[in-house]
Structure 1
């Protein structure tokens, strides 16, 4: 009798435990399914849109870069690396656009960041009008590139000519959009004027997080404003520098709307940037395959430069 009761006990306890565990397992499965469902509900549409708008066109574009498709009819012939050979050996306009874009990018990055940083220092001072100044400096960024280009085209052609006639200052009498050198600087002026306000906001947020105790201690120790800026302020805003450099590199390489509306690549295609050159090749000259080959080279170059920049500046952040 004792042995039977012991056997029943030993058999009954595990079964009871399993019955108790079973609802918890089902509950976990339900929670997991619920989490998967919520994830699919919120992330699914965005992921689908990203695939349709970005990934699928990206990979089809890579395919078309190895073809001679004109973008209109259904005849697509595989040409291999012929498009890329043509770009590096015969297409002089592509090479010139690449050089102009590189030169513009270097100048625009430096000026936009310097102007944005100076404006950020200005609006973080104890000025009564600092909020108004922030609004005024940021407003050009709210204007679309095409509209901005047409407005500045009127300023360069009509406004500067009128000021030059009244004042006699030679700077305003220059053919700003009629000469290759001045047209290039016209694009730079408009781009810096538009982008500096956005960069200013990022630097402003970073400057406001600099501990004032460090600055006060440096002043007590006799440090000058330049020494404080060089050894305290700039190292403390290094993460903002990384972000601003990344943004300005991306903006400068991809400049299109200002280039199109301000000069349309002129005079004589001397200011035609890469984005405008790709657009013209694909949609004006109806050589879509060749335009995709240019776009692929453009993507590789910009991706490589931005990766190198972010890696280098991140290391500098750690060192500082």
Structure 2
């Protein structure tokens, strides 16, 4: 009979090796190539030290991509958490068919991001303009994804619609951990709905709020699939995210080493932002 320890290693070691082979090793290779001038397909290359990293801070295209990604991530993170919390509060109340509605709201999370993106691409490009013409609306008659000023709003709509599903489930889990006795006591004390939410509900789900904020921000900073399906980084470079720039420049533009350096900076930025979020929000939890 196989011992428990042997069974553990027989399952853990292959998974660890696969993870190292397909995740850790390529990541380490990327860090190595970031200090070279390899274009991605030539047989030879030279070490250039920190030249690629210095060039990133002088590249207007890279700076624009970071600015767009941060703007997008902040807006999406706020909208996802506000809307998902409101939905969770509604689903947690005593409404009819609430289990059915929970399934409906979670459905977007099951669908593939690219599939959702292409569906919304068709809606923005064909369905809404037709409705706009029938309604006599000049704004709705144009494809929002083809407008440099408004294309990012279309991406935000898709990301928020799909992102609120997972966050809503987490908020629902948090709301269900709150004892009903506390709410009954607050009713007896004459507390209003806003006081009950701000003094009881929100402090008791603050840990879930922290998780949702960090996950939503990380996911938004790594936006890629929505860009591919909806705008391809356009019009022009108006919606070019960092991840999309790394992919496009590294695999299609002969900038493999240069974009590898960008990916290293990108990774550091995401880690720093996540750590700052955790520190700040966890400090708020303890003060709640």
TM-score, normalised relative to structure 1: 0.86
In structure 2, how many angstroms separate the alpha carbons of the residues matched to 1:127 and 1:36? 49
Q: Deviations over 1:7-36 (max 9, x none)?
A: xxxxxxxxxxxxxxxxxxxxxxxxxx9565
In structure 2, how many angstroms separate the alpha carbons of the residues matched to 1:79 and 1:34? 52
Q: Deviations over 1:118-171 (max 9, x none)?
A: 111111111112112111111112121111111111111111111112222455
SS in structure 2 of the partner of residue 189 of structure 1:
helix
Q: Does 1:182 align with 2:150?
A: yes
In structure 1, how many angstroms separate the alpha carbons of the residues matched to 2:265 and 2:76? 21
Partner of 2:199: 231
Matches within 5 A, 1:1-320: 36-89=5-58, 91-320=59-288
Once the two structures are TM-superposed, the CA of residue 202 in structure 1 deviates from its matched residue by: 0.3
Q: Which runs of 4+ in 1 moved over 4 A?
A: 33-36
Once the two structures are TM-superposed, the CA of residue 319 in structure 1 deviates from its matched residue by: 2.2
Once the two structures are TM-superposed, the CA of residue 56 in structure 1 deviates from its matched residue by: 1.1
Q: Deviations over 1:283-307 (max 9, x none)?
A: 1102110110110000000000001
Structure 1 unmatched runs, 5+: 1-32
In structure 1, how many angstroms separate the alpha carbons of the residues matched to 2:180 and 2:3? 48
In structure 2, how many angstroms separate the alpha carbons of the residues matched to 1:201 and 1:152? 23
In structure 2, how many angstroms separate the alpha carbons of the residues matched to 1:283 and 1:247? 27
In structure 1, how many angstroms separate the alpha carbons of the residues matched to 2:136 and 2:190? 48
In structure 1, how many angstroms separate the alpha carbons of the residues matched to 2:6 and 2:244? 44
In structure 2, how many angstroms separate the alpha carbons of the residues matched to 1:98 and 1:115? 26
| Residues matched between the structures, number | 287
Q: Deviations over 1:268-290 (max 9, x none)?
A: 11111110000011011021101
Q: Deviations over 1:209-252 (max 9, x none)?
A: 11111111111111110111111000000111111011101110
In structure 2, how many angstroms separate the alpha carbons of the residues matched to 1:58 and 1:212? 48
User: Which protein shows a greater Rg?
Assistant: 1
Counterpart contact for 1:62–1:296, Cα < 8 Å: yes
Q: RMSD of the alignment, in Å?
A: 1.5
Partner of 1:11: none
Once the two structures are TM-superposed, the CA of residue 49 in structure 1 deviates from its matched residue by: 1.5
Partner of 1:4: none
Q: Which moved more, 1:212-221 or 1:295-304?
A: 212-221
SS in structure 1 of the partner of residue 11 of structure 2:
helix
SS in structure 1 of the partner of residue 125 of structure 2:
helix
SS in structure 1 of the partner of residue 145 of structure 2:
coil
SS in structure 2 of the partner of residue 318 of structure 1:
helix
In structure 2, how many angstroms separate the alpha carbons of the residues matched to 1:289 and 1:108? 31
